[in-house]
Amino acid sequence: MEFGTTSDTGWIGDVRELAHELSESSAAFVQATESVSDALFVALRSMPRELAPRSFARFERRDAVLIVDLRVAEQDLAGLTADEQRRLLGPQLLALVSRGTKSRTAAWSQEERSLIRVEFERMLSKLNWLPAEV
């Protein structure tokens, strides 16, 4: 499975750097999911709460890509260290990927769906994006 990231951020938080961190650390995920021919694309965005940021996950059949778009209010990031931001974003990101792997439009087997979730969680754990109890 291919993996890509992008970010679209305001001035508050380290979302751009965190997206880059995910991208730089994705080799093990890509290797572990190489039997899945599609792609996972993660967008991390921070924006003012007034813009009503809403995250989503959807599978685009035409492009064979699971798009996970995590949008967080800048106010939620204000004053947090990069580590605290990781632990804020990680569980939300994992939940979106888990939800996205349940898409009925994706032609994945149950084993492939499980593999994507497990390996994505493993990547986040290695990067300390998840609390110890997850």
* pLDDT tens profile 40-90: 999 999 989 898 779 999 999 999 999 999 999 999 999 999 999 999 999
Would you say the pTM of this structure is higher than 0.85? yes
Taking 60 as the threshold, does the pLDDT of residue 127 lie above it? yes
Give residue 9's pLDDT: 75
How is the beta sheet containing 56-60 ordered, strand by strand?
2-8, 39-47, 65-73, 56-60
Please give the torsion angle defined by the CA atoms of residues 111, 115, 118 and 120, in that order, rounded to the nearest 10 degrees: -150
